[in-house]
Amino acid sequence: MANLYYTEDIKKKIDEKIAHDSAMIVNDKDLTEEQALHFMAELRVFRKYADELIEEMKEDDRNYEAEMANWRAKQEALKAETAQQAEEQKDDE
């Protein structure tokens, strides 16, 4: 199954969103200090969750790449075996 995403692109998007939201909290003069601290705490929780999710996605990427390398190796071996059999059959004729 092909990857339908690029983990680094998703990580970048999450980082940008957190940075943007953090800046908005800091620059929002209508927020009380208590509200700002609450939102920052929520962002920290989200950051932790996002970091864990990204690590899982990277592990999935590594597993996928290993599976694809194994598949490619099997395909190359099969191709070489088929070519060898064709060559042997040609020699027999």
Q: What is the 3-state secondary structure (H, E, C) of the chain?
A: CCCCCCHHHHHHHHHHHHHHHHHHHHHCCCCCHHHHHHHHHHHHHHHHHHHHHHHHHHHHHHHHHHHHHHHHHHHHHHHHHHHHHHHHHHHHC
What confidence tens digit (pLDDT) does each residue in 7-53 have? 889 999 999 999 999 999 999 999 999 999 999 999 999 999 999 99
Model confidence at 89, pLDDT cuts 50, 70, 90, reads: confident
77 occurs within a structural domain: yes
What confidence tens digit (pLDDT) does each residue in 47-78 have? 999 999 999 999 998 999 999 999 999 999 99
11 occurs within a structural domain: yes
2 occurs within a structural domain: no
Task: Return the C-alpha torsion angle 16, 22, 28, 33, nearest 10.
Answer: 170
Question: Where in the sequence is the domain holding 27, given as residue range(s)?
Answer: 7-92
56 occurs within a structural domain: yes
66 occurs within a structural domain: yes
1 occurs within a structural domain: no
pLDDT of residue 37: 94
Domain count for the chain: 1
73 occurs within a structural domain: yes
